[in-house]
Structure 1
Amino acid sequence: MPAAIALTVVLALVAVFQLALVFGAPLGRFAWGGAHRVLPARLRVGSAVSIVIYAVIALLALDRVGAVDVVPDVVSVVGMWVVFGYFVLGIALNAISRSKPERAVMTPVTAVLAVLSLFVALS
């Protein structure tokens, strides 16, 4: 359960960051390749979709450890392995970003998310 709670907390923090991007915060150098100080509309939509994805991941993690019961067990088991793969891919994508701030900040954040999702998947 601690890994699922930690994963949910980190996802909530990243969701707040994405929400700031949706509302035009000049933090674009940390996301989406870092090409924009303020994200254009299409990337703001991407940030909004990311928030929904983070909520689904948090729900899967909490379901996997038994804190909630909203999906069949097989969905949370397989889903958490998919989430782990998603974050491993995210590590690679953040690590090759042209944006130095994105590489410096988001690569370690995504690595933490990957490790936490692995712990939840293994639970």
Structure 2
Amino acid sequence: MLIQIAHLYATACLTVVFFQVALIGGAPLGAYTQGGQHKGRLPPRNRVIAALSIPVLLAQALAILSAAGFPGLGWPRCTGWAALAMALVTMLLNQITPSRRERALWGPITIVMAALAGYVMVVSRGA
């Protein structure tokens, strides 16, 4: 069951990656990200920020999969804790963002993501 929970977390991370790709491609979703400062398409500088988040999200997904014991990864356990820390920071930021739209969309999603990562890290400790 631990691997399945880690898979859910990794799938959520990939979903966020696809959202970031849409932002980079010019999708008019600025109200749902980066504090909602840009109602339509993100300006180029903010698209770079979206692009920089992609490797972070992929690393988080792999770190949690590794912590759950996914075959062939074997990352140091501290990477899972770092992924959980990032998930918690992201959750907090999405709860306090001035953008109602961002808070409404990403608030619940990031709570679930942090809970999934936390579950994997706590339960895998005894595994």
Q: CA deviation at 1:71?
A: 4.3
Asked whether 1:88 is paired with 2:88, we answer: yes
Structure 1: tracts of 5 or more residues without a match: none
Residue 65 of structure 2 is aligned to residue 62 of structure 1? yes
The counterpart of 2:21, out of the listed 16, 19, 22, is: 19
Amino acid at match of 1:15: V
Which residue does 1:41 correspond to in 2?
44
CA spacing shift, 1:58–1:68, aligned 2, 3 Å: farther
> Structure 2: where are the runs of 5+ without partners?
none
Structure-1 residue corresponding to 2:114: 114
The residue aligned with 2:99 is 99
Runs of 4+ in 1 over 4 A off after TM superposition: none
Kindly, what percent of the aligned residue pairs are identical?
Answer: 34
Query: Deviations for 1:64-120, whole angstroms, at most 9, x for unmatched residues?
Result: 122233344xx2x21222222222221221111111100111111111110011012
CA RMSD of aligned residues (A): 1.3
TM score, norm. by length of structure 2: 0.87
- Paired residues, number: 120
Q: Identify the residue that residue 9 of structure 1 maps to in structure 2.
A: 11
